Amino acid sequence: MFHGVMTALVTPFKDGQVDEEAFRAHLERQVEAGVDGVVPTGTTGEAATLSVAEHKRVIQIAVEQVAGRIPVIAGTGSNNTAESIELTQAAKDLGADAALLISPYYNKPMQEGIFQHYQAVAKAVHLPQILYNVPGRTNSNITPETVARLSHVSNIIGLKDATADLAQLTRTLMLCDDRLAMYSGDDATVLPFMALGGAGVISVVSNIAPKTMAALCAAMAKGDTALAKTYHFALQDLTDAMFVESNPIPVKAACDMLAWMTGEMRLPLTALTAQQMQALKQVMQKFDSPLETLSIVI
């Protein structure tokens, strides 16, 4: 149902509040650049520090601004199953096309708990749902066997795999037998991920280089690996720069440098150091893609 590059959107803030004007402009920029979908209220969108009301409002703004031109996949995950159900139902009511749900964090559930969590949300809300496995943040791994069990739930339609573990991806693909679409959650490995059969990427770097990431995914979808490598190499330094500190710290700084929004974040996230900012600026100035440039204005 969903494919190509889907941008894991930042949430702009100004004076402690969601900056609706900047967010709408960012959404419009993404649509015009040709991305295949947008993902508000995920990790990159600082969902962990949004109030429930803000979470729902950000989804609403995304649905309104996109206006059906591309899919909106709302982040609705939580370590609290009841809250996940509430947010997923809200996403459906607000008109989102699907939901992305992070595996429960902090609680450290067993695989059976992970399975029952996702199954409960899927049964409670009839909306297409994508599992999200990011062990570096959740302190748990959704095993290929658990993914395979969940692949039989009718409205669980995909997996965002942010492990960068291509061997695990291979095992998951083998067990799921094409029942789920697989999306990379790691910008650095989109090319090999799609070569193995992935449908695309839920991307951080496409916040600032959407045309290039979209072109990479389109080339891989057509089987043009040589062209895809051109874009992959063009993105490499920028991708590395986006993860010198916890996401979304660097990408927020990059958006600020481009004068698209303030670099404001919510605690406990804090800004890059002056040295890191200078290094990021240099990477952005040197970014060399045939499709787009990054015009720094600060």
Q: Is the peptide bond before 250 cis (omega within 30 degrees of 0)?
A: no
User: Catalytic residue among 56, 92, 160, 211, which?
Assistant: 160
Q: Write the Ramachandran bin of 281: left for phi over 0, alpha for psi from -120 to 50, otherwise beta.
A: alpha
Q: What does the block give as tokens for 277? A: 């900012």
Question: How many Å apart are CA 92 and CA 205, to the nearest integer?
Answer: 27
Decide if 14 is catalytic.
no
Active-site hit among 132, 183, 211, 252: 132
Q: For the stretch 108-144, what's the b/e string if a residue is b when 16 or more beta carbons lie within 10 angstroms of its beta carbon?
A: ebeeebbbebbbebbeebebbbbbbbbeebbebbbbb
Structure tokens at 236: 């490499």
Q: What are the residues whose beta carbons fall under 8 Å from the beta carbon of 65, sequence distance 6 or more?
A: 23, 24, 27, 28
What does the alpha-carbon distance between residue 156 and residue 132 come to, in Å, rounded to a whole number?
A: 11
The SS3 of residue 44 is coil
Active site residue 106: no
Q: How far apart are CA 226 and CA 213, in angstroms?
A: 15
Q: Which residue carries 């395979």 as its tokens?
A: 148
Asked whether 30 and 4 are in contact (CB, 8 A), the reply is: no
Strands 13-14 and 17-18: antiparallel
Cα→Cα distances 173→197, 248, 298, Å: 8, 29, 45
Q: What tokens appear for 284 in the block?
A: 């952005």
Give the active site residues.
132, 160
